[in-house]
Amino acid sequence: MPYVLHCECGWEKEYRNPVAAKFGGEAHIPHCPFYRKAKEMIDTMSMKRFEGKTEDAGGAILSAAFWKQDTVVRGTIVREFDTENGKCYVLDIPGGLTVDGSALSPKQEGSITGTRFSLGGLKGFQMAVDASGAGRLLVGDVLTIKATGLTDTGKGSPQVNFRVRIERGDDKQQDVPF
């Protein structure tokens, strides 16, 4: 009873016993163009490794207490996360900011200097983003935010009003007056 081996490359060989067929097939593999191509594809699909730390996931949130009339912040959105008050966006702020720790959430002691702070959960901010027509904010957007005043809500704490500029795509401008 003959044992015939067929390969995807078109190679075919007949053997008289299974042991010879096994050795013949194993001898063919290193020379097989189909096998070599498949192995090359597997070798190029190298394992990717990702690492992250909780501390890198966000920055302290700029609370309503931070936003005074005409305060302007400009940064690139590097990630977003959900809170009980809605979406927050982590901004990478070139040149950094120094913020009174009591104007952050969670509150902190003294002044805090950093290049990453988070923004979100403020109704006035979300209203300004909605009014911009950009839809939702995306990672990579350059966001310029300016506090324009306060509106009494009748609920004990005023709403901070904002003006926002969202720059998306390759035409991002550098430090255009706002």
Q: What would the pLDDT profile of 104-160 be if each residue is shown by its tens digit? A: 888 888 998 999 999 988 999 999 999 999 988 999 999 999 999 999 888 888 899
What residues contact 135, with CB distance under 8 A and at least 6 apart? none
pTM to 2 decimal places: 0.65
**For residue 171, what pLDDT band results from cuts at 50, 70 and 90?**
low
Contact 147, 159 (CB under 8 A): no
The CA-atom distances, in angstroms, between 172 and each of 14, 21, 77, 97 are 67, 65, 13, 21
For 97, other C-beta atoms within 10 Å of its C-beta total 17
Residue listed under structure tokens 């009980």:
84
pLDDT tens track for 44-57: 777 677 787 776 77
Q: What are the boundaries of each domain within the chain?
A: 3-44, 54-167
